[in-house]
Structure 1
Amino acid sequence: MPDARAAPLLDIRRIYLEAAAEAHPRGREILARFPAAERIPVDSHWRIPALREADPGEFLRPKREVLVLGVKKGMTFRPNGRSADFIAPSTSNGCAMACAYCYVARRKGHANPVTVFANIEAIAAATARHAGRLGPKPPNQVDPRDWVYDLGENGDLSVDALISDNVRDLVALFRTLPNAKGSFATKWVNPALLDYDPQGRTRIRMSLMPAGLARLLDIRTAPVAERIAAIPELHRAGYEVQVNFSPVVLREGWEAEWAALFQELDAALPAAVKDQLAAEIIMLTHNDALHAVNLAWHPKAEALLWRPDLQEEKQSEGGQTNLRYRSGWKGRWLGRFRDLLAAHMPYCRVRYAF
C-alpha cells in the first residue's frame, strides 16, 4: 500500500503555465513561491499531453511535483441542493491527495494534479454579484438562513491554501456577504486557516472515515485523528464546522469500526461544537474507469471498492455509468448507519444522506 506520509505533500518541480496567468498578480505571487520549479508553457490548463502520457504506476509523483497555473474562463453557478445551494466557479481543480475512490474528473490526465486559477478577483466578483441578485433564502437542509456556495467541488481548499492566498481571499469575501456563506470539504489539516477570521461565514466539512479504512483508501491525506483534533480549533477560529462521513465503504465489521469512530469523535468534541454539528452521509459510488486506474497503482483498494456482488450499475446525473450498492440493500445499510450515529452522537443532525 502506498505510504501517505513518506514524502511531503507538495514538492513542486514543474509548473505548466498558461501565459495569461502570469498577467495576474496572483499568478506572479504563485510563481514567486516556487522559484526553482521548471516553467512549461501550455495553451490550455486542460490540454497537457505530458500528464496524459504519464506512467499509471507513477500515480502519486505528478500530484506531489506538478502544479498547473491557469485562468478560469467560465463563471457558471450550478444549483446543487445537497452540500450547498450552488456550486461556485472554482478557484482550482485537481488534488495533491490520492483518495482511491475519488470521483473528480481526470481530464488533465489520470493523476490530475492541482490547477490553481490566477484570476481570483474575477471569481470573487462574480460570486458577489450572484449572491447580490438572490432574494431571501428559503430555509432548507443546506442552511436555514444563508445561501451556501460550495467552493471546492473538484479539489481540497486546505491544500490549495498551501499554494496561494485564493482561499484566504474567498473567506474574506464571504465575511462581506450578508446573505451567503462559503463551504468546502477537506481531508487535510492546514493550521494557516486558523488565521483567516471567517466570522462564521465559511463552513468547513471535515471528511471522516474509520482510521483503518482511511489508511488504505485516503492516500496522502491527514490522519483521521489529526482531522478530528482540528475540528475544535477550526470552530474556535470562527468557522462553522460540520462532518462528512464519506464514503461509507462496506466490509466485514463495518458497524464496529464506524461505532468506534463515533465514540472517538464524541469524546473529542466540546459542547460548543456539538451544539452546531450536522453531518452528510455518502455511500460509496464507484465506476469501471476509476477501477482500471486503481488497478495500475493501488490494487489493494479495489478489493473493497470493486464489489459487483454488492453493487449495481446506475446512471449518474451527468450521464455516466457508476456502480452503487444495490438499491434494496443500500437503504437498509444506510438506515443501520444512521441508527449507529444516533446511538453514539444523538446531537448530530443528518443534513442529507444518500
Structure 2
Amino acid sequence: MPPVVAPAPTRLWTPDRALVTRSAAERPYGQHVLQRLERAGVTDVELLRGDRLPNLRGDGDRAAFMRAKNTLALVVGAPSRRRLQPIPPSADWRFDLAEGCPAHCQYCYLAGSLSGPPITRVFADLDDVLDGLDTYVGRGSVTSGTAERGAEGTTFEASCYTDPLALEHLTGGLARAITYFGTHDWAGPVQLRATTKFDDVGALLDLPHAGRTRLRFSLNAASVARRFEAATSPVDGRLAALGAVAAAGYPVGVTIAPIMPVDRWREGYGDLLDGIAAAVPEGTDLTVECITHRFTPGSKATLTEWYPRSRLEMDEDQRTTKRGKFGAVKHVYPRQTMTELRGWFQDAVTDRLPGARLLYWT
C-alpha cells in the first residue's frame, strides 16, 4: 500500500508559560516533555522547587483567565489517579494523559467537571499509569462482557478531561500510549480510546497500534463549530485527519457533539454526515457517538464568566431538568426535541453511514 499522507496541521498550541514540579522533572517522561517543550519554542519554563503549583486563580478577571488558559503545568498525578473509574457510556475505565484543554469551546464540558483556574496539567507519571492497567483487563462493565460492545474488549478512555491531540506536539503522550497498547502483552482484548477536535495526526500514522486504539474526532455542524469552537482545528481539517488515520489502519470514530437544534439543523448535520462518508475509505471500522447539548448550574456560571459575550443558548426555561443518582441537576432538551433529534440521527446515520455502528445516544 502507498504511504498514508497526513494533512498539514491547521493549529498548534504553544503555551505562554510552563510550570514544572520537582517530581515531574525527575521522571523520564517528564524529561521527555521538557525536551519537546524546548523544541516547540516554549521559552518561559519555570522549574519549581517543590510539587505545589503557584496560585493562578487571580481575581477572577479576564486577564487571569487567559493567563491560566495559556499555561501548561507538568506534574505528577495524585496516587488516587491510579485507581481507575468507569466512564459510561464511553468506556470501561478512564485514565488521564492530561487534564485541561487549550481550546475555547463556549460549551466546554470541563467547566462543569474541573475546578480552579483552567490551566492544562500534563501528568509526568504516564509510564507508571500504563504499567498499572493490566489489573483492569476483563473487569469492566461498560463494554467488557456486554452483548452490544463486548467485541471491543476492555476499553480505556484517555480523553475524558483533555484533548490529547491538542497537546501531542508538546508531550508525545498519545503516541506513547498507542504504542504501549499496540505492543504490550495483554491478558485479553483491549482498546484505547481518545477523541479530539484537532488534526495533527502525522506522528501517529506509522505507530505499531495493532488495531488496539480507536481514534475519534469530535465534529459538529459547520454553523455550530464556527460559532462556538474557537481555537480548534476546522471541521474540514478534522475530517482530513479522520481519513488519514483510517487509511493507516486505525479503527476510528466520530463523536457528534454537542448536537444542537439550530436553524436548518437537518441540513447542517446532513452535510456533516456526508463529509464523514466521503472522508473514510471503504470498509473502515467506524463508530458514531451522539451527545446532545446539556449544562449544569455550575457549568453555566463558569462558562458565563469565561465567555461573557457568548450567544450559546443556556436558558433553563427552554430545557427539561434531569437529576443524577446523587441529585445532581442537569438541563437537557425537552422530550419532544430529543425524540425528534434522536429519530432523525438514527435514520440519517443508517442511511448515510451504512457501515458505521451507532454506539449510543445521550
- TM-score (normalizing by structure 1): 0.86
Q: Match for 1:282 among 291, 307, 314?
A: 291
Deviation larger for 342-351 or 180-189: 342-351
Query: Deviations for 1:174-199, whole angstroms, at most 9, x for unmatched residues?
Result: 11234211001111111222232312
- C-alpha distance 297-91 of structure 1, shift in aligned 2 (>3 A): closer
How far apart, in 2, do the equivalents of 1:25 and 1:99 lie? Answer: 33
Q: Is the 8 A contact 1:198 1:237 kept in 2?
A: no
1:179 and 2:189 are equivalent in the alignment: yes
Residues 279/143 of structure 1: CA separation in 2 closer, same or farther (3 Å cut): farther
Q: Among 120, 130, 134, which residue is 1:128 paired with?
A: 134
Q: Distance in 2 between the 1:100 and 1:297 partners?
A: 8
Q: Normalized against structure 2, the TM-score is what? A: 0.84
Q: Counterpart of 1:15?
A: 18
- Asked if the contact 1:197/1:238 (under 8 Å) is kept, the reply is no
Question: Is this contact kept in 1: 2:16–2:44, CA < 8 A?
Answer: yes
How does 1:212-291 map onto structure 2 within 5 Å?
Answer: 212-273=223-284, 276-291=285-300
What SS class does the counterpart of residue 196 from structure 1 fall into? Answer: coil
Indicate conservation of the 8 Å contact 1:266/1:345, yes or no. Answer: yes
Cα shift at 1:34: 3.2
Which structure 2 residue ranges, 5 or more long, are not aligned?
A: 1-9
Q: 1:343 to 1:52 in 2, by over 3 A?
A: farther
In the TM superposition, residue 123 of structure 1 has moved relative to its aligned partner by 0.3
Quick one: structure 1 residues 318 and 285, their matched pair in 2 at CA, closer, same or farther if it must change by over 3 Å?
farther
Tell whether the 8 Å contact from 2:11 to 2:233 is kept in structure 1 after alignment.
Answer: no
Task: Determine the structure 1 residue equivalent to 2:207.
Answer: 196
For the residue of structure 1 that corresponds to 2:249, the secondary structure is: coil
Aligned residue pairs: how many? 340
Say which of 28, 37, 46 aligns to 2:31.
Answer: 28
* Inter-CA distance 134–267: structure 2 relative to 1 (3 Å threshold): closer
Does the 8 Å contact 1:139/1:145 carry over to 2? Answer: no
Residue range with higher mean Cα deviation, 161-170 or 213-222: 161-170
Question: Shift of the alpha carbon at 1:44?
Answer: 5.6
Q: Give the aligned partner of residue 39 of structure 1.
A: 46
Q: How many Å separate the matches in 1 of 2:325 and 2:197?
A: 25
Q: 1:306 to 1:261 in 2, by over 3 A?
A: same
Q: Aligned partners of 1:82, 1:192: CA distance in 2, in Å? A: 29
CA distance in 1, matches of 2:259, 2:355: 20
Change (3 A) 1:76 1:349: same
* CA–CA separation in structure 2 for the residues paired with 1:349 and 1:281: 11
Q: Tell me: CA distance 1:173–1:325, structure 2 relative to 1, closer, same or farther (3 Å).
A: same
How far apart in 2 are the matches of 1:126 and 1:268? Answer: 36
1:209 and 2:233 are equivalent in the alignment: no
Query: Could you report, residue by residue, the CA deviation over 1:246-279 in whole angstroms, capped at 9, with x for unpaired residues?
Result: 1101222111111121122223322122xx2221
Instruction: State the distance in 1 between where 2:353 and 2:140 align.
Output: 35
Matched-pair contact (CA < 8 Å) for 1:181–1:201: yes
Q: What CA distance in whole angstroms lies between the structure 2 residues aligned with 1:101 and 1:119?
A: 30
* Correspondent of 1:165 among 157, 161, 172: 172
